[in-house]
Chain A
């Protein structure tokens, strides 16, 4: 009887207030947020964990998420292209070309809407879409998840990240969202210029970068935000180098792709697209929602001379009446040199963002 009692007491101790699942102890992930960036708002139902981020990385490079196991997110969001696609349009597994250029995935944790037309409001929601898109990965989530759940390694990873042995698409989306939130770019030459301008102290290594900034790069920065110069900063601004809005930057006089207007059904939104970040712009060619420009020179020429007027053109394309900001050859070169200061090699080459 005494033994029984002892065993029972032991049993009580062991089970009384234990956590629900044995072995589910995710490690909080500490985001490294650059000092001149604001804090990142993390959704309450998807806290960052080391296990979640790692699983997200595996999933981002996982071809099992596509119908014929040939395509992963990284197929259209390649690290060397600032996580975008060097092709004008991406081709899905059925061989069908999409109609828009893939977007660079940079600092998305600070974004409030996703896609060129902003049709997704959260990353978690956005991530569910490419998998089931028939002209992209063309796979159903239940099938994709059953492929993953058939793999003991993934079962373990899902368990460690979310404490579940019945992982579904919401867990996959959460993990990928966590991974995307770690993809922070804030260590370019531009960042040192930004900090200097805003009287934010520079570290020793930043001081060294500061002394390497050329007169042309500073000149390009001045021109970029000069009202009588290139006048770019109204839309590409702040530490993220983008403002949160939809805008028509004068690409077309009539629209084949209505952009934001397609989502809202409001004709005042026709031809408006999400203002993209200019970070790592050197790597993310081709440019614009339809990838119509293959070089930065083409982009600069557009803003200089080829602005098309339409009813929804942004009033902040201020020299639209004259066709653009009319930069001369030397000024165009300065703008380009400035745009190249937005390259962040550490971000592009970060092993933590590459295929596991």
Chain B
């Protein structure tokens, strides 16, 4: 009789223990530290907004409708930050790349502006879904055939007739790519701003400087490139000016 009671008690414990386990297992939440690279587009001294109108040095009116670019192989010497970040001002805001980690591991960073030849011509469906190089994330930043990725895309409209009326009917399309136009960029002694579990490195992209850097882009005549034959000079200038326009904020 005593044994029976023991068995019954044991049995009850066994019964309830399983249930308890199912219910009471604490929701484990991993609180990690994130590092972000952000890019704030500006026009000279003010924040730049898509679809807003700005005035160029030449007195043209200009609005940007899309600003997108790839920063690929972002790393601190041999420590990888991210395989690729994709900036898309309209749909993703100022975020370029966000990964788990600590800013102190990335006091220096180097990267490609564009996508380096090592991966530029791979099957864009073969990257993991989490990679910005996957065609689902690349979206319209990939040419459907061998040239590979579009490194940067700037689209907008301008009014190049400096008179009293503003009619933005002059289309601007810069689609730069191709291995020969790849640029590299590096940042040293990076200041990571820490708020809570988030550390952020902020860059600014000055579109006024993009148009009037060391070299000048005259949107009246230099309004379109798709990196095709005959457009080599403008394409390279677009890439070089863009690199110049991107600096720590």
List residues of A whose CB falls within 8 A of some B CB: 1, 4-5, 8-9, 12, 15-17, 35-39, 41, 110, 194, 197-200, 225, 227, 233-235, 237-239, 243-245, 268, 309, 311, 315-316, 318, 320-321
Q: Which residues of A contact B134 (CB under 8 A)?
A: 38
Q: Which residues of A contact B123 (CB under 8 A)?
A: 36, 198-200
CB interface residues, B 162-188, toward A, < 8 Å: 168-169, 171-173
Interface centre among B123, B127, B135, B144, by most A CB within 10 Å? B144
- The answer to the question of B77 belonging to the interface, with a C-beta cut-off of 8 Å to chain A, is no
Q: Which residues of A contact B7 (CB under 8 A)?
A: 5, 8-9
How many angstroms from the CA of A60 to the CA of B129 in the assembled complex?
29
Assess the B135–A197 pair: CB atoms within 8 A. Answer: no
How many angstroms from the CA of A194 to the CA of B145 in the assembled complex?
8
Q: Which residues of B contact A233 (CB under 8 A)?
A: 143-144
Assess the A8–B11 pair: CB atoms within 8 A. Answer: yes
B-side interface residues, number (CB < 8 Å)? 41
Assess the A315–B169 pair: CB atoms within 8 A. Answer: no
Assess the A197–B14 pair: CB atoms within 8 A. Answer: no
Assess the B226–A309 pair: CB atoms within 8 A. Answer: no
Q: Which residues of B contact A194 (CB under 8 A)?
A: 144
Assess the A225–B145 pair: CB atoms within 8 A. Answer: yes
Sample 15 A-B pairs with CB under 8 A, ordered by A number.
A1-B4, A8-B7, A16-B18, A110-B136, A199-B146, A233-B143, A237-B142, A238-B144, A244-B139, A245-B91, A315-B66, A315-B157, A315-B171, A315-B173, A321-B169
The 6 lowest CB-CB distance pairs between A and B, nearest first, are A243-B140, A12-B11, A268-B51, A17-B18, A315-B155, A315-B171
List residues of B whose CB falls within 8 A of some A CB: 1, 4, 7-8, 11, 14-15, 18, 50-51, 65-66, 91, 123-125, 127-129, 134-136, 138-140, 142-146, 155-157, 168-169, 171-173, 224, 226, 228
CB closest residue in chain B, given A236: B144
Chain B's nearest CB lies how many Å from the CB of A248? 11
How many angstroms from the CA of A83 to the CA of B122 in the assembled complex?
33
Asked whether A39 and B144 contact (CB < 8 A) given A5-B8, A8-B11, A12-B15, the answer is no
Chain B's nearest CB lies how many Å from the CB of A11? 8
How many angstroms from the CA of A227 to the CA of B168 in the assembled complex?
22
How many angstroms from the CA of A233 to the CA of B147 in the assembled complex?
14
How many angstroms from the CA of A315 to the CA of B224 in the assembled complex?
10
Assess the B144–A234 pair: CB atoms within 8 A. Answer: no
Interface centre among A4, A197, A239, by most B CB within 10 Å? A239
Q: Which residues of A contact B8 (CB under 8 A)?
A: 5, 8
Q: Which residues of B contact A16 (CB under 8 A)?
A: 14-15, 18
Assess the A37–B144 pair: CB atoms within 8 A. Answer: no
Q: Which residues of B contact A36 (CB under 8 A)?
A: 123, 125
| B interface majority secondary structure | mixed
Chain B's nearest CB lies how many Å from the CB of A265? 14
Q: Which residues of A contact B129 (CB under 8 A)?
A: 38-39, 41
Asked whether A316 and B139 contact (CB < 8 A) given A16-B15, A37-B125, the answer is no
Assess the A239–B15 pair: CB atoms within 8 A. Answer: no
Q: Which residues of B contact A309 (CB under 8 A)?
A: 169
CB closest residue in chain A, given B142: A238
Q: Which residues of A contact B140 (CB under 8 A)?
A: 234-235, 237, 243-245
Assess the A315–B65 pair: CB atoms within 8 A. Answer: yes
How many angstroms from the CA of A245 to the CA of B68 in the assembled complex?
13
Q: Which residues of B contact A198 (CB under 8 A)?
A: 123-124, 145-146
How many angstroms from the CA of A4 to the CA of B156 in the assembled complex?
83
Assess the A318–B14 pair: CB atoms within 8 A. Answer: no
Select which of A37, A199, A245 is within 8 A of B139 by beta carbon: A245
Asked whether A316 and B145 contact (CB < 8 A) given A12-B11, A12-B14, A38-B136, the answer is no
How many angstroms from the CA of A41 to the CA of B136 in the assembled complex?
10
Asked whether A197 and B125 contact (CB < 8 A) given A1-B1, A16-B18, A316-B173, the answer is no
Q: Which residues of B contact A17 (CB under 8 A)?
A: 18
Q: Which residues of B contact A12 (CB under 8 A)?
A: 11, 14-15
Q: Which residues of A contact B14 (CB under 8 A)?
A: 12, 16
Q: Which residues of B contact A237 (CB under 8 A)?
A: 140, 142, 144
How many angstroms from the CA of A198 to the CA of B122 in the assembled complex?
8
Select which of A9, A37, A318 is within 8 A of B11 by beta carbon: A9
How many angstroms from the CA of A243 to the CA of B88 in the assembled complex?
14
How many angstroms from the CA of A133 to the CA of B88 in the assembled complex?
35
CB closest residue in chain A, given B155: A315
Q: Which residues of B contact A318 (CB under 8 A)?
A: 171, 173, 224
Q: Which residues of B contact A235 (CB under 8 A)?
A: 140
How many angstroms from the CA of A178 to the CA of B44 in the assembled complex?
50
Interface centre among A110, A244, A315, by most B CB within 10 Å? A315
Chain B's nearest CB lies how many Å from the CB of A50? 23
How many angstroms from the CA of A321 to the CA of B4 in the assembled complex?
93
How many angstroms from the CA of A72 to the CA of B214 in the assembled complex?
63
How many angstroms from the CA of A235 to the CA of B155 in the assembled complex?
14
